[in-house]
Copies of this chain bind each other. A is one copy, B any other.
Amino acid sequence: MTKSFSNLQIDSERLWGTIHETARFGATPKGGVRRLTLGEEDKQARDWFRAACEAAGCEVHVDALGTMFALRPGRDMTKPPLGIGSHLDTQPTGGKYDGVLGTLAALEVVRTLNAAGIETEIPLCVVNWTNEEGSRFAPAMMASGTYAGDFTTEDILARKDADGVTVAEALEAIGYRGSEAVGARRLGAFIELHIEQGPILEAEGKTIGVVHNGQGIIWYDGRLTGFASHAGTTPMPLRRDALATFAEVVLAVERIARELGPEAVGTIGEATIENASRNVVPGDLTFTLDVRSANAATLDKFDIMLRKVFEEIAARRKVAVELNQVWRKEPTQFDAKLVDAVEAAAKELGYGYRRITSGAGHDACNLATVMPAAMIFVPCKDGVSHNELEDATQADCAAGANVLLHTVLALAGVANKR
């Protein structure tokens, strides 16, 4: 931290005001936000953001996937800028903080530096990544994924929403199909502030999560094949019940996750009994399984343990168990120097903090594969997110923004007090 600015604080009221001002764009009656990517409400939020960034002295550039880069010059313009930001799109019944906090806190950092007359050594770039949520167009985090080289721009432009509208058409419709090639605007590093979307900080009474890594994910599709039979005429010992077998599978997933914990989780989110009927012993059942850990070796171990116990259950129950991996994403390792900088800022500012793993995917996770990156978490009420009930306190939002500010000061350096 640059000692002479150690008392510098963002303007908590101003940040809180912008969060609630932009929450109008797609506001729902229940107090949430519905701002699907590249829709009319997203355009309103983008237009507001562009105007606010320009008013703060930034030059706003838009790439071919609509990602907005608001550049605040630094003393040394030969250096790639330090990226800060998040996303402004929301889930169909989303909240006011997911993505919004990180984007507007980045803007607030610029406003605070402006007010303090501070020029940084390295330029800054406030970024609004297109389609983080993935609710309208798949996949989620498509713009940062393309930026990181996981997809081609052409592929993503051709993706369609449920109404058959392509990403290209949606971008044209709201005037955000930019001319810059995706990835051409090079960033030196990226820091993203975000609500935790989980219950850990709140449960432990910590204000700041210093995110040092992100979970890898394996997605599976599963199928159980037993034998459908009459609920009244089939004695218990003669049943080949797909649901009772599944019950053992569910508990096995939970047990393995606990054994490999605390940093492994396993979730069965979907399950469907085929041709279900009140008086028929279930014969066929399909399910999905989501396994996560920040440690790739733990993911591998989870997979091996799962298959072993599933095999045992299947043999004993005379029910066939299939488990097919449909996706695997390796764990994210955030940059040690950046993580240390975030931690130092939290400590210096006197906030309670802990190192934490990101359980959800974020644009910063994609970017971490191609540049130094880190994240800052603040608590959200009851760990609830992707929900109109999503909530966070003004004090926690301000704390996160202050940590972002001081991380920026430490990393970008102060060139001049103008």
Contact = CB atoms under 8 A, between A and B. Distances in A.
Give this chain's copy count. 2
Contacts of A359: 230-234
Given A247-B250, A248-B251, A254-B236, A269 B231 contact: yes
A198 B288 contact: no
8 contacts: A198-B232, A198-B234, A198-B235, A200-B238, A230-B359, A232-B265, A232-B292, A237-B258
B269 A280 contact: yes
A257 B236 contact: yes
Given A230-B386, A232-B360, A269-B277, 17 more contacts: A198-B232, A200-B233, A203-B238, A219-B278, A229-B384, A231-B359, A232-B359, A233-B360, A233-B383, A233-B385, A234-B359, A236-B254, A237-B261, A241-B267, A278-B288, A278-B290, A280-B386
A234 to B, nearest CB: 6
A262 interface: yes
B279 A269 contact: yes
A268 interface: yes
A315 to B, nearest CB: 18
A263 to B, nearest CB: 8
A361 to B, nearest CB: 7
Contacts of A230: 197-198, 359-360, 383, 385-386
Contacts of A82: none
Interface string A377-395: 0000001111000000000
A358 B281 CA distance: 17
A332 B203 CA distance: 56
B258 A236 contact: yes
B261 A250 contact: no
3 smallest beta-carbon distances between A and B, as pairs: A198-B233, A232-B359, A233-B359
Contacts of A215: 232
Nearest to A282: B269
B251 A236 contact: no
A250 B243 contact: yes
Contacts of A238: 199-200, 203, 383
A293 to B, nearest CB: 10
Contacts of A244: 250-251, 254
A273 interface: yes
A269 B361 CA distance: 36
A217 B231 CA distance: 10
A234 B273 contact: no
Given A196-B233, A199-B234, A386-B230, A269 B265 contact: no
A385 to B, nearest CB: 6
